[in-house]
Structures are given as C-alpha cells and as structure tokens.
Structure 1
Amino acid sequence: MTAQRTRHTGYGIWLIIASLAGWWAAFQLTLDKFATLQNPDATLSCNISVFLSCGANLESWQGSAFGFPNPIIGITGWMAVLVMGVAVLAGVRFPRWFWGLFGLGILFSFVFIAWLIGQSFFDLHTLCPWCGVTYLAVVPTSLATLVELGRNGTLSRRRSVQHAFGRLMAWVPLASIVAFAVIVVLAQIAGVDLLGEVSRMLFG
C-alpha cells in the first residue's frame, strides 16, 4: 500500500520551480567560490553593497559548515527535489518510508537554512543575495512538504487528518509570507537594513 493516492499537480509544479531556482542560486555561489579560490581579491557579482554581499559568507567557516562549500549541498539537494517534483507530476506512487525520508531531507534543509540566516544576520551582518533566493525557495517548499506529508497519508492513515492537511495547503503562501516577514524583522534586529538595501538596489 502506498501513501500517495492522488496526483497533486500544484505541489509537483512548485517542487520543480523551487528546485530550479535553488539550484541556480547554488550554482552561482559555486562559481563565486571558485572565483575567490583563484583570486581572493576577485570582484564578485553578488557583492552589491556592505549588507548585500556573498563574499563574507563564502569566506567564513559557516560557508563550509561540513568541511566543504555549502553550495555543493544545494547543487545535489535541489536535484533530488527536482526529480521528486517530476515524479509527483507523473503520478508516481511512493511508499510511506520514501516520503518520510524525503520529509527528513526537507526538514534538514529548513533547519540548516534557519541556522545560516541567524549566522548571516547576527554574526556576519550581511545578506548573501543568492542565499536570499535559497531562502525564498526553501521556506515555502518546507511548509508545502509538511502539508503534503499530512495529506498523502505519510504522517497519519486517518482520513480526517489527511483531509485537514489538504485544506491547509491553500494557506501555505500566506504562511510563507509571514515567515519572510519574520526574516526581515530578524534582519532589522541584527542591524541589517534589508528593506533599505533592497529598495536602493531596485530603485537606485
């Protein structure tokens, strides 16, 4: 018996969109890391201002938390999400244990990103632009996956629980906006004028 009973097209499409955006951000960060290795004084395209900069993040120990550059995790991890999104669109049915492992992977990415946000704001006092793209992809993906695990029977076989989670999917966009608002507040508390920097970047 499999956990997934219906084809959840919207969720599959989001996984594909998020994975492509997240992979591109990780790829750009990898290129920037190579540039700094070749020339420590290289001017990186992501170094927009004092606050919006990826150089400090890439050169810090937090940028290689597991002994290798963090973007490598993104390049490999987002490919797994892309494959999952295509499989969901194709109507592939996975057993509960497989969905559980996927959920654990998404949970790890959420916890890791939350830690990196705290380190970036309160220790490095910067926001890496490409990291920001990753935040925009990870947060909604994590929330949507939690709901998906509830509605496809992974968290519970009870129909009432599955239906309840199914109704929650419509609230994922709003919950994501609230999460982003919390990130902005944390940036302000840490002294990173995120809104001001973004405004100056967009409007000059």
Structure 2
Amino acid sequence: MSTPRTLPRRPIAMGIFLLVTGIVALYASFRLVLDEFAKYENPKTALSCDVNVFVNCSDVMTSAQGHLLGFPNPLIGMMGFVAPIAVGVLLLAGFRNGSRWFWITFNAGVFLAWVFVTWLFTQTVWFIGALCPWCMLVWAMTIPMFWVFTIWNLAQGRFGAGAQRVGKTLLPFCWAFPLANYLVIAVSIIIVFPRIFQSF
C-alpha cells in the first residue's frame, strides 16, 4: 500500500511578508501621487511632509529625478507594487510551485525595484539635498522585499542546486542583509546632513 505524498508546506510567512510590504509601499506611492496632484493644483502649496529644508517632499517631487520617465515616479510604484501583493495573496491561497520562470521573472522585477530605490536614494541624498518621508517609506519596504525574497527564492532551488545551498545557508540570516542596507542609508544621511536632527 503506497503512502500519500506529503505536500510542501504552504509558505504563509512569505505570503504575509510580500502582502504587508507591498501594501505599505503601495500606500506610500499613493500618498505621493496625491501630493503630486496637490502640487499641480497649487505649485506653492506646502505639503504635510515638508518639515524643514532637509526633510522636504516638494524639493524631491519637483526635481528632474522625480520624473525619470517623463511622469511622476510614484505612478511606477502604483503599478509595480500590485505584483508583490498579488504574489502574496497567491502564496496565502496555497500556490506553491508554478513555473520556475514565473519566480525568476518576479525576482527580477523585485531586483529592478531595489535598483530603482537605490538610485533614488543616491539622488535625493547627494544631488537633490532633501529627504522625502513617503519616498523613504517606499525604500524601507522595497529593501527587505528584495533581500528576503531573493534569499528565500534561492533556498527554494529556482536558480539551481548550487544557489539553493547558498540560499539555505543564508536564509536564517536573511534579516541581516536589509539591516546592512538600512545602515548604509542611515550613515549616508548622517554624513551628508549632519545638522538634520538639530533642525526639528
């Protein structure tokens, strides 16, 4: 008599992780879009996130970097962050396997999102000279979304056996990678804006 095959455990934690980070990033992008509309209506209006000369959404939003493709960057977030929300829902609904290329393509999308927010971080800190709280919330969600999901995806064996061994080794320490990423950003902000905390 044959025993029934054991199904792989539903990845509930990863589903919740993608759902939460995706929803928070989507909300931050939505708030940025609302602020863009407010600026279009009245270019001189002060936004709720215009705190001082260092923390100033208006300076970031009106910059050339804030419209990289000719339209407001938050619209990219509004479209893009639907994907991790959808994948999170699929995982919670019991979607386990799927095509290997589906997971690789999604991972590539998350990587591009990380590259984009990293570029925006360098531009706002070193070139624009102002910080946008809603943008930083998007950074805060995209960074762990990329690092944690990528390591988890490696551990699932979707990039080959060798990468799977690396992923399984790194998986218990996956939290350290976004933490290191956060530290780089924090140290950069402190170096570039040494008086930021004195201006509140």
- Using structure 1 for the length normalisation, give the TM-score: 0.87
Instruction: Tell me by how many angstroms 1:178 deviates.
Output: 1.6
* Distance of aligned partners of 1:193 and 1:78 in 2 relative to their CA distance in 1, 3 Å threshold: farther
1:181 maps to which of 176, 180, 183: 183
| Runs (5+) with no aligned partner, structure 1 | none
Instruction: Tell me by how many angstroms 1:175 deviates.
Output: 2.0
1:110-147 Cα offsets, whole Å, 9 max, x none, are: 11111000000001111100011011101100001211
Q: How does 1:59-98 map to 2 (within 5 A)?
A: 59-92=62-95, 93-98=97-102
Instruction: Tell me by how many angstroms 1:191 deviates.
Output: 2.9
- SS of match in other structure, 1:45: coil
Q: C-alpha separation between the residues in 1 aligned to 2:186 and 2:176?
A: 15
Aligned to 1:51: 54
1:57-91 Cα offsets, whole Å, 9 max, x none, are: 11011011011100001111111110011111222
Q: State the Cα RMSD in Å.
A: 1.8
- SS of match in other structure, 2:38: helix
* Distance of aligned partners of 1:49 and 1:13 in 2 relative to their CA distance in 1, 3 Å threshold: same
Q: C-alpha separation between the residues in 2 aligned to 1:114 and 1:108?
A: 10
Q: C-alpha separation between the residues in 2 aligned to 1:167 and 1:75?
A: 34
Aligned to 2:11: 8
2:145 maps to which of 141, 144, 157: 141
Q: C-alpha separation between the residues in 1 aligned to 2:198 and 2:146?
A: 27
Task: State yes or no: 1:17 paired with 2:13.
Answer: no
- SS of match in other structure, 1:24: helix
Q: C-alpha separation between the residues in 1 aligned to 2:93 and 2:172?
A: 22
Aligned to 1:106: 110
Q: C-alpha separation between the residues in 2 aligned to 1:72 and 1:86?
A: 22
- SS of match in other structure, 2:71: coil
Q: C-alpha separation between the residues in 1 aligned to 2:91 and 2:14?
A: 8
* Distance of aligned partners of 1:197 and 1:75 in 2 relative to their CA distance in 1, 3 Å threshold: farther
Q: C-alpha separation between the residues in 2 aligned to 1:197 and 1:75?
A: 34
Contact 1:125 1:192 in 2 (8 A): no
* Distance of aligned partners of 1:193 and 1:99 in 2 relative to their CA distance in 1, 3 Å threshold: farther
Contact 2:54 2:193 in 1 (8 A): no
- SS of match in other structure, 1:41: coil
Q: C-alpha separation between the residues in 2 aligned to 1:7 and 1:21?
A: 23
- Match of 2:32, as an amino acid? L
Higher mean displacement: 134-143 or 91-100? 91-100
| Runs (5+) with no aligned partner, structure 2 | 1-7
* Distance of aligned partners of 1:10 and 1:192 in 2 relative to their CA distance in 1, 3 Å threshold: farther
- SS of match in other structure, 1:94: coil
Contact 1:107 1:142 in 2 (8 A): yes
- Match of 1:139, as an amino acid? I
Flag the structure with larger Rg.
Answer: 2
Aligned to 1:169: 171
